[in-house]
Structure 1
């Protein structure tokens, strides 16, 4: 096998084509251009590669190489649960076998409700844990058990496999997603890898990968795999797109990284795998492929592609858990949403900003600028999720200020459908009058308050409309229209140490 190098004049890039000289009819381009680079990079990032045969054995209680609709790596999930403890009457206790069995049963997706509902139910189980009943010395106790350790990443297990054979929902045939990434045995990320050169000049091969993802989510295909998925990637060696469960084709997006430096991308791309990792990854492949990979690595540093940047940016374990926990939400109208890169890094900058204090002890404020239709309401919801999950911001309250009634209604509905507010919370959060706003500011304990800026003019007349806590975050929608004039002055007087 030799490596043929050609120049793509339309893209001004080098195309690497693997040619088998003994049997030129065999095409290794997809394997070497996209799939193996992704697998080696994931191994570098900390995922343990398991072969398709090993994976099949973990998915079934009976050793078998037949296709199965079970997509959870059962022994890995069970091993994680075995390590979990809960406190009862001052002492730690391990889970009983029956409690573990119940949790494992709860992980079966409720596909009769449809893919989105099943995905949301499993997402909530991952986020909040599963409640089980235990008996300690004859005493009954209900305990909520985590499926993922969000705070200590080292307590989780990360695995990756290829060509996962999944039986379709009708039991008549199977599909084989190219790469699946697991956290504690749960398939959180699915990748479709294609060759870089398209037979259709007007269409990237990534479009084919996206189409494959969408097809596989259909009711008669393998939606039960996607019931667990949080990130979906389409890659072709040169570049890639990402989305989440249920994302229409037009909303699959590119990622632009702002935290990881180019030297770090280069280091990760060219980090040498250990002999054991290489043997593990190439154990089921012909020896010639392993030898060709070694010769490629020995030939010098490899160039970082946009596929590499996408895989590193979204699938390094810490970022995968971060995207799942803080930058994913379900909206009743739109469906499941995963944040765009500008929302992620805008919120991260915002969090860093409000975590610093000025000389008066007030949190720093700032501006996040959005174009029309770019998702500012969802950015607010993602930020509120950060306030819920980040320990250092858990004591903060949020006041959402708009200048129009319809905006207030829209935002409150977005917060509610995004899971930040329950229906009761939504009712309590609304500042229905100036007096009500004054009470909420001075004596309330609502985590989120909604108000029209005009209400500050009447609220300030009440003595209770004052709170000098630095733990109040004021998010002002359409700020360019409302951050001046008397109402803005009254708002600043009522909340002297708030971050705006």
Structure 2
């Protein structure tokens, strides 16, 4: 890439690279062409169905309902289409389970007319829906200009017509040299955009390398299917940062490979609770896993955390010592359980519950501990391992204990085995994910 590269050159080279990665180029100039292409792609994706005009109008009406948050749910659900002959068929918009089994297209310069006429740079279509929008600026321009441009599109035109551009899940901004991504949440700040990074937390800033690592069709589909979080309490979309993604993937691979334990060392303030809770959500999809138990210390359960967890598992956190409810969840068909270390310890050590838990004690249960050193030391660790014969334990910590600072206690490795991923304070400072240290000298106090 030359240093004088224009926005048009940047766009052309990106489309060429995306084409090489398996995206099919398609020309779509306006809303009518976007809807026509959507119709064709949905027909092909849904076992070569053919929609009548009236049937497709029903689909468009269904897709047009709700906010971007509600549309994100629509994307992940199926729609029961009542056909003209009275029969019905389920329509899938996005295959979240086999995320590579979708249809992929790339287009440029789609024009949408709302309050103003806007033309979008590069749009990635999955089954005809615009799920990734890329805004480019020529080299040398501030990246924030691209971010501001997307915010203007939110106000001016994404909502226009059938509002299909509100289905965008992930935005990408780039000037060729610096590239960042973020979720479709118009109320966030530029600081909530971030570069992709490899497993060792090395940022991938250049657009061509970013495209190879992040925009490959199966990778971006996986990000949308598994790592875009629908934040229920704030009704907005979030997307995992790269270190969060790598941590969850490392846990998944560990579960697939066997029953070895492991721990994640992510610095304080880097979003460990979101990472560990997302791990619980995706691990439970493994058919060999009976249950996932997400364990927190009661001291962590402030109002927001309780509210968020209860959106996923209603009533699982109630701030009480209702161990009987936990025992019921361990023995029924509840797949993901959120509990406190105190309830869990009581459930497996009191004789009154012993017989009831026989049905699960030899099943494969995965335990994920948030801030593992507050909750895992002492007798509790021994009790869990002794009671659940096929337990697999994963711990998250911002302050691991090593041999040189153990002071008579068991180390993190003693309890959890291998470290699966690391994101430390120096990584976080480089990425502006935590506040930098400030050292002030006051002199002698009198």
Would you call these one fold, judging by a TM-score over 0.5? yes
| CA distance in 1 between partners of 2:57 and 2:219 (Å) | 30
Q: 1:89-488, aligned counterparts within 5 Å?
A: 97=52, 98-110=54-66, 118-134=67-83, 143-151=89-97, 155-168=101-114, 170=115, 173-198=116-141, 205-218=142-155, 220-223=156-159, 224=163, 226-246=165-185, 247-258=188-199, 306-331=206-231, 332-333=233-234, 335-357=236-258, 363-387=259-283, 390=285, 392-393=286-287, 395-407=289-301, 410-417=304-311, 421=312, 425-427=313-315, 432-441=321-330, 443-459=331-347, 460-461=349-350, 462-463=353-354, 464-466=356-358, 467-488=360-381
Q: CA deviation at 1:380?
A: 2.6
Q: Which residue of 2 aligns with 1:17?
A: 4
Indicate how the Cα distance of structure 1 residues 402 and 354 shifts in structure 2: closer, same or farther if over 3 A, else same: same
Listed one character per residue, the Cα deviations across residues 315-352 of structure 1 (whole Å, up to 9, x for unaligned) are 21101111111001122238320010011111111001
**Any gaps of 5 or more consecutive residues in structure 1?**
1-13, 19-28, 62-71, 86-92, 111-117, 199-204, 263-303, 358-362
Q: Which has the larger radius of gyration?
A: 1
1:56 aligns with 2:29: yes
| CA distance in 2 between partners of 1:379 and 1:221 (Å) | 34
Q: CA deviation at 1:178?
A: 1.3
Instruction: Give yes or no for contact 1:435–1:458 (8 Å, CA) kept in 2.
Output: no
Instruction: Give yes or no for contact 2:180–2:205 (8 Å, CA) kept in 1.
Output: no
**Aligned pairs, number:** 380
3-state DSSP of counterpart to 1:165: strand
Listed one character per residue, the Cα deviations across residues 54-100 of structure 1 (whole Å, up to 9, x for unaligned) are x136x427xxxxxxxxxx44234334325525xxxxxxx95763544
Q: CA deviation at 1:487?
A: 2.4
| CA distance in 2 between partners of 1:216 and 1:210 (Å) | 10
3-state DSSP of counterpart to 1:37: helix
Q: CA deviation at 1:496?
A: 2.5
| CA distance in 2 between partners of 1:237 and 1:206 (Å) | 10
| CA distance in 2 between partners of 1:451 and 1:482 (Å) | 12
Indicate how the Cα distance of structure 1 residues 197 and 130 shifts in structure 2: closer, same or farther if over 3 A, else same: same
Instruction: Give yes or no for contact 1:412–1:450 (8 Å, CA) kept in 2.
Output: no
| CA distance in 1 between partners of 2:148 and 2:84 (Å) | 49
Q: Please, what TM-score do these two structures have when normalized by structure 1?
A: 0.68
| CA distance in 2 between partners of 1:123 and 1:94 (Å) | 24
3-state DSSP of counterpart to 1:475: strand
| CA distance in 2 between partners of 1:426 and 1:216 (Å) | 37
Instruction: Give yes or no for contact 1:453–1:488 (8 Å, CA) kept in 2.
Output: no
Indicate how the Cα distance of structure 1 residues 476 and 179 shifts in structure 2: closer, same or farther if over 3 A, else same: same
Indicate how the Cα distance of structure 1 residues 254 and 154 shifts in structure 2: closer, same or farther if over 3 A, else same: closer
Indicate how the Cα distance of structure 1 residues 394 and 181 shifts in structure 2: closer, same or farther if over 3 A, else same: farther
| CA distance in 2 between partners of 1:130 and 1:346 (Å) | 34
Larger relative contact order (C-alpha < 8 A, sep ≥ 6)? 2
Q: CA deviation at 1:233?
A: 0.8
Instruction: Give yes or no for contact 1:232–1:242 (8 Å, CA) kept in 2.
Output: yes
Instruction: Give yes or no for contact 1:242–1:253 (8 Å, CA) kept in 2.
Output: yes
Instruction: Give yes or no for contact 2:146–2:174 (8 Å, CA) kept in 1.
Output: yes
3-state DSSP of counterpart to 1:364: coil
Listed one character per residue, the Cα deviations across residues 32-74 of structure 1 (whole Å, up to 9, x for unaligned) are 2x222211111111112223xxx136x427xxxxxxxxxx442
| CA distance in 2 between partners of 1:151 and 1:450 (Å) | 24
Q: Which residue of 31, 46, 61 maps to 2:8?
A: 31
3-state DSSP of counterpart to 1:217: helix
**Any gaps of 5 or more consecutive residues in structure 2?**
394-446
Listed one character per residue, the Cα deviations across residues 127-150 of structure 1 (whole Å, up to 9, x for unaligned) are 1221223588x7x65x43211234
Indicate how the Cα distance of structure 1 residues 409 and 380 shifts in structure 2: closer, same or farther if over 3 A, else same: farther
